Amino acid sequence: MVEKTKRVADGLADLVDGLEYHYPGEVNEDNLDQILELLHSNGMELPVVASGLYPSEPGQMMKLAPTEAARSTPLRFVFRAFSRRARTGLISEPIAYVGSDGWGSFDDDNIVGTNFFMQTLELAVVLQDVGYGSKGELVGFDLYPYTEDPLAAVRRSIFQWDFIWDLASKIDREALTKARERVDAIGAMQTVYAALGLDREHEAAVIRRRQARRESKQRSASA
C-alpha cells in the first residue's frame, strides 16, 4: 500500500488534498507512519479512514453474526481504527461523495457527470446553498474505473466536478426559488439551462437558424 500511495501521490498531488484508506486492509498500525510521511511530503493528508473488511473467519465478517463473539469482532476492529485515528490526530471533517455516477441498480462508480449530469449539478446547487465546504467539509470521489487509467479517471472527475460546481454557482437562485414556489418546472429548467449557456440570446439564434432553414427550403421548392 505504501508503493501504491507513492504512485497516486506522484500522479495526483497537484489536485488531490488527501486519500481515503480502509482499515485494516489498506492502512493499519504497521504502515500508518510510512503512509503519513509519504502523504505529507506531497502536501496531502489522510482525512478519512473507513472501516474495511474484517478477518475472514466463518461467521465473523458480518455485524449481524449469530453469536455475540462473532458480532464483537468487527466492532473491535472499528473501535481500534477510530482509536488509532484519535491518537494520531487524524479526525476528519464531514465528507460528501460525488464520484459514484451511475448508481441505479448497480454502483458503477463512473467518472463524475458520466450518466447523471443534471443530478450532479443539482447536488452542487444544494451543497452550495447549505454552505457545504465553508467549515472544512470534504468532497470525495468514489471511483472504480474498469477500463480507464485510474489516475486519469480521478483527474477527469476532479476537473468535471469543479466545472459543474462553477456552473452551479452561476444559476440564478432567486429565479430558481420563485420557479419552485410556483411549481413551475419549465421556469426552473429555463433558469438552470441559462447558466449552461441557453439564454435568451441563444434562443433567438435558434429561431433565426430555423427560420433560415425554412426559407431555404421554400426557395428550393419554388425554383
Q: Which domain does 34 fall in, by range?
A: 2-88
| Residue 100, φ and ψ in degrees, nearest 5 | -130, 45
Q: Which three cell numbers stand for residue 35?
A: 503512509
Tens digits of residue pLDDT in 19-75: 988 877 888 878 988 999 999 999 999 888 776 555 545 444 444 555 666 556 656
Do 159 and 183 have their domain in common? no
Tens digits of residue pLDDT in 114-169: 888 999 999 999 999 999 999 888 888 888 888 899 999 999 999 999 999 999 99
Residue 50's SS3 state is strand
**pTM for the structure as a whole:** 0.80
Do 177 and 164 have their domain in common? no
Do 14 and 73 have their domain in common? yes
The Cβ of residue 41 has, within 10 Å, a number of other Cβ atoms equal to: 11
Residue 120 in contact with residue 167, Cβ under 8 Å?
A: no
Kindly report each contact of residues 105-108 with a partner whose C-beta sits within 8 Å and lies 24 or more positions away, as own/partner.
108/144
Do 49 and 108 have their domain in common? no
Residue 156's SS3 state is helix
Do 130 and 155 have their domain in common? yes
Do 21 and 72 have their domain in common? yes
- Of 88, 107, 138, the domain-final residue: 88
- Of 53, 88, 123, the domain-final residue: 88
Compute the distance between CA of residue 72 and CA of residue 64 in angstroms, rounded to an integer. 10
Do 25 and 66 have their domain in common? yes
- Sorted by sequence, the CB contacts under 8 Å of residue 162 that are 6+ apart come out as none
Do 100 and 131 have their domain in common? yes
- Of 63, 88, 113, the domain-final residue: 88
pLDDT greater than 90 at residue 6: yes
Work out how many domains the chain is built from and give that number: 3
Residue 46 in contact with residue 39, Cβ under 8 Å?
A: yes
Do 15 and 76 have their domain in common? yes
Do 65 and 136 have their domain in common? no
Do 136 and 208 have their domain in common? no
Residue 58's SS3 state is coil
Q: What is the DSSP letter of 26?
A: T
User: Crossing angle, helix 68-88 and helix 32-41, to 10 degrees?
Assistant: 40
